[in-house]
Structure 1
């Protein structure tokens, strides 16, 4: 199913914003998307990601800013003139129409010839592997199958952009994994340009070429999955990207990008993402996988080590997720290759490069700090 007829070079969002009754739901979103990219808008509920998607789709008018495709404004066009396909969270299928007729609907609204509609509907249904269900009604399908119909309906019109609003949130864990693979396969095989809204960081990391993390309508960071996973720009992004251990500590000394920090009965060597000085209150972010229970005799030279008491152990296949308490009662999430016993005192090991130091405020990251992030990456 070729998409060349509606191909474009780039989609640009310039200072895009949307307010509701004086409340800013989205503030100055600036982003350039290249044709063929898969972009994930990521953040907690109420962060502005669905607002951004609805502004792109033409379902919400902009309060300010512009949306351009190859330097031509599209935000002034009604939604049906933008040639975008939309996949909704609740599928939004017509319950009284068969799979075939649901998929055909957009083409019929565009008054395409009957023979063309039949051919393209057949191709789209084959792409999502629903040939055996073409004559069924949505109510006769599973949740995953209904989502496939919704995707087929979006791509059959050969859109220049596909918008997906948390399309997997209503599915069980197994189906989410299967559909995640299916969405990425379709994106690659059809050469789609996709913008995908999710609150699931694992989903975003596995699907997207670039991620846009939002908080309270403001962009916090834009980057590749690896960049955001390894080098979050501020503690909010770190928290959202799985750095579950957030410690409020004080800087003792600074040497280049390294800092010694203390508090909660801990004294750690850490790495500054945002500059700090001796005496500053900072927030240190540590991913559970980077804070590990040491085995007897394991070398610890150049690493932070301290003791803690095991409170809970969870089996996770090849490893164990462990909850521990420090001597001052601070709860931490760590990992272990073996199953320690609740109540046991264990030694934890942490690479200073994986203890990330941030300011406690969420001020924008400066150019100097962005350069530091790139050096660390």
Structure 2
């Protein structure tokens, strides 16, 4: 594969009809890294990928591969491989011909085309299906053909745009492992777009979280899982419990929060002063059913219980009507009165900007699993 040390995006932006879809994206990707661009629909992650691929021209900024500026090159001159959400296979061509197509367009010798095609098909474990048409394959097999077609070109960078979103849950898990295995075994540099935080955490070396076209946080999976930089990132990264409270006391990272009939001790993320409006964020798995004594106690009533194997996903409602999400191995039933507790180090307090509103919690029937 074409070697490079780093790929650098400097102030990359893209506007549509005068509105920023992507703004001031600065990112350096090291050779061999797996980078996930993560965020909700409309956050700019696919726009960033299409700018990298050359499918969209930049409105501002530049893209460099070491000392070579690549955003001025057409897509076919950049040497990048692309895996689409839709697979985009030729339905009338066999697996072998689909994989070989790009090599043939480059007019490589027939023997080299045959060798590289066979090697790519072997890597994705589709030797037995090489002469089948795409319509004869499962969704997971078709996605593996699309990956083989990308890597057979020996690209310096592989771009993947939500490649698993059309697969069922079991296949998604299998293909996640397959993609990571190929990334490691081939020494690929990969940029991967997804809206699935679990998928991003399991695959990526570093995550880039976007919101409204702007980078919110760049970090390792551990960084983003444990310490989101703001409440928008926390909300997206699975901190389903968001409480609008007030900082009654603040000393360094230690903060006492009050509101909605609660008095809780938490950990400030960023500077906080007494009297400030905050969003207190905590993951469902960090809310525990307590024995009724100690600190950070919350009285609540169980409303909805979902069986999830060894654990239950439980929605409760506090005395003031605030819904909270809990994961527990204790057997609970709707109507049970419970006392909950939260470790102060797991309850993160974020400053709320003037005029900023915390989204209202979803009703139980609309709740999205974390």
Normalised to the residue count of structure 1, the TM-score between the two structures is 0.92
Q: Deviations over 1:33-83 (max 9, x none)?
A: 000000000000000000000000000000010100112101111100001
1:356 aligns with 2:348: yes
Q: CA deviation at 1:362?
A: 9.9
1:178 is aligned, of 174, 180, 186, to 174
- Residue number among 329, 336, 358 corresponding to 1:337 in the alignment: 329
Distance 1:336 1:54 in 2: 42
Please name the residue that 2:3 is paired with: 7
How far 1:338 moved relative to its partner?
1.2
Matched, 1:323 2:319: no
**Partners in 2 of 1:211 and 1:273 — Cα distance?**
19
- The match for 2:25 is 29
Give the SS at the match of 1:93. Answer: coil
RMSD: 1.3
1:313 aligns with 2:305: yes
SS of the counterpart of 2:191?
Answer: strand
Q: Secondary structure at the match of 1:28?
A: strand
d(CA) in 1 for partners of 2:114, 2:283: 51
CA distance in 2, matches of 1:338, 1:276: 36
The residue that corresponds to 1:72 in the other structure is: 68
Q: Residue 190 of structure 1: CA displacement?
A: 0.3
Match of 2:224 among 221, 228, 246: 228
What is aligned with 2:114?
A: 118
Matched ranges for 1:22-171 at <5 A: 22-171=18-167
State the SS of the aligned residue for 1:352.
coil
Unaligned 5+ segments in structure 1 are 364-377
Structure 2 unpaired stretches of 5+: 356-370
Distance 2:21 2:298 in 1: 43
Q: What do the CA deviations read for 1:305-341 (whole angstroms, capped 9, x no partner)?
A: 2211111111111111111000001000012221112
Distance 1:361 1:15 in 2: 26
SS of residue paired to 1:182: helix
Q: Does 1:287 align with 2:247?
A: no
